[in-house]
Amino acid sequence: MDLKEINQKLKETRDELLEIVNALNGDQLSKRKEPNSWTISQVCQHLIKTEELYVMAIKKGLKSKEDSVIKNNPQWGFLVDRSNKIEAPDIAKPDDESLEGKEIIEKLNHSREKLNEVLNTVEDPSLLSRRHFVHPVFKEMFLIEWVRSLYLHEQRHIKQIIEIKDGI
């Protein structure tokens, strides 16, 4: 999958997320499905933090001057499969603050702008397939896979948001 296709998936997935968040009220954004689960607001905070962390990782990976020699064969099916529980790293966990819909949308738009800025500064997109950075869960990944996993991660959490919305 090339960067153009990935960018299209990123846009489609983000549009779906924004449409869902836009349709929710403050009460829906701040309610928990279960006592120890995240609220929809917290899921969105996690997505924002994750995207910001990915931007930093991609920037660091692009600073490398040598092509990476790694075996990179991520199995993305389990990322979207909500039956597989994946614990978010502490750095990507949301806080207890409940954000309003407008603020969530602003922050989602801002984090996406930062991602697009980085991707638009890459003069040679093939660099994304030749440079890597270590992911906390998936280990060594080419930068193009970082970008691809971002929309898959977001699709996973859209499913979670729908589960929360339907369960409250």
Question: Which carries the bigger pLDDT value, residue 38 or residue 79?
Answer: 38
Res 78 pLDDT > 90: no
Supply the pLDDT for residue 82: 85
Rounded CA-CA distance 135/48 in Å is 17
Rounded CA-CA distance 168/164 in Å is 6
Q: pLDDT tens digits, residue range 93-132?
A: 999 889 999 999 999 999 999 999 999 999 999 999 999 9
Supply the pLDDT for residue 79: 78
Please give the model's pTM, rounded to 2 decimal places: 0.94
